[in-house]
Amino acid sequence: MLGTHSLYSAYAPCGMQTHHTRDVISNKIEPVNFKKSNIMNKSILIIIASFCFLQIDVYSQSIEKCDLNVALFAWLPDMALVFEQVEKDFENRYPEYNLEIEAIDPYSNEGYGIFNGINNFYDFDIVEIDYYRFNDLNRVNPSSLDSIPKQFVVNNDYVGGASKITNENLSFFVPHWICGNNLVYRTSNKQLDKAESFNEILESLNPKTTPLNVDFYGKATLGEYYADAVLDTYGENEARKHLKELGTNKNTKLKSDIVKKIKLLFEEINPKFRDKIEQFHDFSYLYPEDFYTEPRSVLLGYSERLFYVEKTKKETELIAWSEVKLESNDYQIKQFSFSDKSQGTPSWVDGFVIPAGKSKDKESAIATFLTYITSPKAYSVINKEQSYMPARYLLPAYKSAFQELSKKSPLILKYLNTQENIFLIDDESIYEGIRKAGKELSKEITKS
């Protein structure tokens, strides 16, 4: 029926207003007296029939779904399964939306388009990026982003690097994940538990009896440990200054005392990994697997490594996933120290931005998704005991989500204690400095 949509507002999930037909037409029909003439009765039947067709037509329009295109990290562990789980849960909760998630490479300039003229950045309604990229986006093109919709329900119990983002930037950036390296060891390792300084940690390690299991190779991977060592040794201000210079000036050299510390730590790595460190870089799941089978070993790395500890436990003990749980009493987690004590850990924050112009027609849809994806219920969708789900040990940017995830993964709460002192990676030049350090150190340790 032509003109129906202008007369009665059908459900419009993309936009701001969402009126149901019943709200518009209520109290509009006069009471009917069925004792009137046959002519009146026929008229009434015609009116009722017309009303029914009107309802059907409005309903057919109301079930039209709003398409929402979201770009998430291609480097997310088990990304295909994660995308599927999130799409399914979101659409079940909000059937008025058709959510399409695609992978985008967060470390490729081509992936953001805005840097080299390719426009695929603007093909999406919402894009997930590293926070250090946010400042670069603003620097290259200050009008490249829409602000976060006011309907977005802010969950502001930020933790880790997310808690260091300014309110001004939070108007354009919604934190999602936090990430950094930490030590994981068994509670029975009393010597390491007491160790605070770099030397004390070294004394607690032994490549033959209490070996260190760590992926210690590659630009970003080894570069993070260099950044951590500079931070602990010289403090945050000097660390930022040095890493920026390293990333922008080809003549800036690595600090020799930090290189020495990196080499000393390299010697404590389990020999079966250390002697082929380059080859094992692409098989980093082997480090946490060995951590489970070697009770005296120590694990250093990202939180998602714990999934492989669980997986090895399941396969070793031949138990169901529902029975697999890393008890918090059995393990300890803390920051690594490269000096007298840890002064923080380099931390990445991933989050969402809205390409310019997307809020014009989809403000309500965007706000709904952002509110959902940062809620504890959304994080719990990924936190499932499955044969391939390492993303379930990723760290959320919100304390409330930690509490929710701990119901199935109690050990994850211990990561909260590592998030109070954080070195936020918030600049492209710092990122490039980290990569330069990692590249040079990878050559250095493999020739020694």
Domain-wise residue ranges, the chain: 4-62, 66-179+349-410, 182-346+420-447
Is the pLDDT reported for residue 244 higher than 80? yes
Domains 66-179+349-410 and 182-346+420-447 share a fold: yes
CA distance 98 to 69: 8
pLDDT at 106: 60
Tell me the average pLDDT across 321-344. Answer: 94
Is the pLDDT reported for residue 55 higher than 90? no
Q: Which residue has the tokens 């997930």?
A: 128
Is the pLDDT reported for residue 382 higher than 50? yes
**Which residues, at least 6 apart from 177, have a Cβ–Cβ distance to it below 8 Å?**
348, 349, 350, 351, 394, 395, 396, 397
Is the pLDDT reported for residue 23 higher than 60? no
Name the pLDDT band for 13 (thresholds 50, 70, 90).
Answer: low
Over the stretch 212-243, which tens digit does the pLDDT of each residue have?
Answer: 999 999 999 999 999 999 999 999 999 999 99
Percentage above 90 pLDDT, the chain: 70
Over the stretch 66-77, which tens digit does the pLDDT of each residue have?
Answer: 999 999 987 777
pLDDT at 251: 97
Tell me the average pLDDT across 290-294. Answer: 97
Is the pLDDT reported for residue 112 higher than 80? no
Query: Which amino acid type is present at position 136?
Result: D
Burial grade of 35 (CB within 10 A; 0-12, 13-18, 19 or more): exposed
For the ranges 25-29, 140-144, 196-200, the one whose mean pLDDT is highest: 196-200
The predicted model scores a pTM of 0.84
φ, ψ at 333 (rounded to 5°): -135, 135
pLDDT at 73: 82
CATH topology of domain 182-346+420-447: D-Maltodextrin-Binding Protein; domain 2 (3.40.190)
The residue among 6, 56, 7 whose CA lies nearest residue 48 is: 56
Name the pLDDT band for 403 (thresholds 50, 70, 90).
Answer: very high
Percentage above 70 pLDDT, the chain: 82
CA distance 192 to 436: 31
CATH number of 66-179+349-410: 3.40.190.10
Over the stretch 347-375, which tens digit does the pLDDT of each residue have?
Answer: 999 999 999 999 999 999 999 999 999 99
CA dihedral of residues 293, 296, 301, 304 (deg, nearest 10): 40
Query: Which amino acid type is present at position 415?
Result: Y
Q: Which one is predicted more confidently, 140 or 398?
A: 398
Is the pLDDT reported for residue 252 higher than 50? yes
